[in-house]
């Protein structure tokens, strides 16, 4: 699940939240941190004739090494591994999610390697499992092996730019090419964001994709909306409301829609509602449950319940 909150965007300058990471070693200007996200859930997917099973949604380990070079400069490297597909029987061993090196200048960070595009920062949806689309960028790509990315923080404006090199002639490249821009800011109690992507899949024509979002903190609840469009393909919107139930429990409800330009392809609207309980003794341990459905023919409501541990 992705989210667009300015604080989260600011933390992605270095793309690693040390507040939750376990420091394995620290000394002589070197810091090695390990971060984990472990999630197991009982789930029946939305659709027709779906059976309940146990899924491993997130089984991720993120390794980060940072060297402090001087007062305003540090070098960092990151290796992220995912084990959920292996646990679900999809593949053997760990899958390398991200692998990159970079330099952090304080308010600007440059990183090169296998990583997410800048537009992966975009979205307001709060579903544990996608019902229709997280956002319009779900229709293209959100990561690559040959990515150069720059993140910058200017007062309350966050800017991220990335490019995925086509790497034509390299047999190890998927041949996809993308240029992405993400911008977010806060005005009072409103978080605003905009994103643009020029994406070209291997062997296909390039397409332009854009999206905007707004999140309003009303105190008793947070309301979010985003809208995105891909030329000659589809429009996607998300509406969401999140609110605290108690000091340890929060809930969210959302509506998602995809409007296809091709009249032969049906438009789809879906909804979801979830609740999350965080243990007061350890807020990185939580229980959650979610239901959802779509207006597709013969669709049946899906549900899930699970446990998540982060560090």
What is the model's pTM?
0.89
Is residue 169 pLDDT above 60, yes or no? no
CATH of domain 6-310: 2.40.160.10
| 17/27: higher pLDDT | 27
The pLDDT value given to residue 158: 98
Contact by Cβ (8 Å): 88, 152:
no
Is residue 38 pLDDT above 50, yes or no? yes
The pLDDT value given to residue 87: 84
Is residue 170 pLDDT above 60, yes or no? no
CA atoms within a 13 Å half-sphere pointing along the CA-CB vector of 81? 9
How does pLDDT run across 229-268, given as a tens digit for each residue? 999 999 999 999 999 999 999 999 999 999 999 988 899 9
How does pLDDT run across 144-168, given as a tens digit for each residue? 999 999 999 999 999 999 999 986 6
- Per residue, the 3-state secondary structure of 224-274, as one string, reads EEEEEEECCCEEEEEEEEEEECCCCEEEEEEEEEEEECCCCCCCEEEEEEE
> In the structure, what pLDDT confidence band is assigned to residue 8 with cuts at 50, 70 and 90?
very low
Q: Cβ–Cβ contacts within 10 Å for residue 233, how many?
A: 17
For residues 178-183, average pLDDT: 98
For residues 32-54, average pLDDT: 93
| 288/20: higher pLDDT | 288
The pLDDT value given to residue 63: 97
Collapsing DSSP states into helix, strand and coil, what is residue 25? strand
Is residue 9 pLDDT above 60, yes or no? no
Q: How far apart are CA 260 and CA 176, in angstroms?
A: 23
Place of tokens 């053997």: 92
Q: Cβ–Cβ contacts within 10 Å for residue 106, how many?
A: 11
Which of 109, 118, 144, 150 lies closest to 14 in space, CA to CA? 109
Pairing verdict, β 30-44 and 282-294: unpaired
Is residue 4 pLDDT above 70, yes or no? no
Is residue 185 pLDDT above 80, yes or no? yes
Is residue 171 pLDDT above 70, yes or no? no
For residues 13-31, average pLDDT: 78
Q: ∠ at Cα 224 (219, 229), nearest 5°? A: 165
The pLDDT value given to residue 10: 46
Which of 182, 185, 238, 150 lies closest to 5 in space, CA to CA? 185
How does pLDDT run across 78-106, given as a tens digit for each residue? 999 999 888 877 666 788 999 999 999 99
How does pLDDT run across 110-144, given as a tens digit for each residue? 999 999 999 999 999 999 999 998 999 999 999 99
Q: How far apart are CA 91 and CA 85, in angstroms?
A: 6
| 308/173: higher pLDDT | 308
């Amino acid at each position: 699940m992705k989210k667009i909150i300015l604080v989260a965007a600011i933390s992605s300058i270095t793309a690693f939240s040390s507040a939750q990471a376990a420091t394995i070693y620290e000394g002589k200007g070197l810091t090695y941190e390990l971060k984990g996200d472990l999630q197991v859930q009982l789930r029946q997917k939305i659709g027709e004739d779906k059976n309940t099973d146990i899924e491993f949604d997130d089984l991720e380990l993120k390794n980060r090494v940072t060297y402090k070079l001087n007062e305003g400069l540090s070098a960092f490297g990151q290796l992220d591994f995912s084990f959920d597909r292996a646990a679900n029987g999809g593949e053997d061993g760990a899958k390398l999610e991200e692998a990159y090196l970079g330099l952090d200048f304080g308010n600007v960070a440059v990183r090169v390697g296998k990583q997410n595009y800048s537009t992966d920062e975009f979205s307001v949806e709060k579903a544990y499992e996608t019902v229709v689309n997280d956002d319009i960028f779900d229709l293209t790509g959100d990561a690559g092996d040959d990515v150069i990315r720059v993140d910058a923080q200017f007062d309350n404006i966050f800017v991220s730019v990335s490019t995925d090199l086509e790497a034509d002639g390299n047999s190890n490249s998927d041949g996809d090419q993308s240029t992405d821009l993400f911008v977010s800011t806060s005005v009072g109690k409103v978080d605003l964001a905009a994103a643009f992507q020029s994406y070209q899949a291997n062997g296909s024509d390039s397409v332009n994709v854009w999206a905007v979002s707004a999140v309003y903190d009303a105190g008793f609840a947070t309301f979010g909306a985003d809208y995105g469009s891909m030329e000659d393909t589809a429009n996607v919107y998300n509406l969401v409301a999140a609110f605290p139930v108690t000091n340890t429990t929060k809930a969210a409800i959302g509506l998602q829609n995809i409007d296809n330009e091709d009249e032969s392809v049906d438009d789809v609207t879906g909804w979801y509602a979830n609740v999350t309980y965080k243990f007061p003794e350890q807020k990185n341990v939580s229980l959650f449950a979610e239901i959802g459905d779509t207006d597709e023919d013969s669709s049946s409501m899906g549900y899930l319940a699970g446990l998540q541990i982060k560090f």
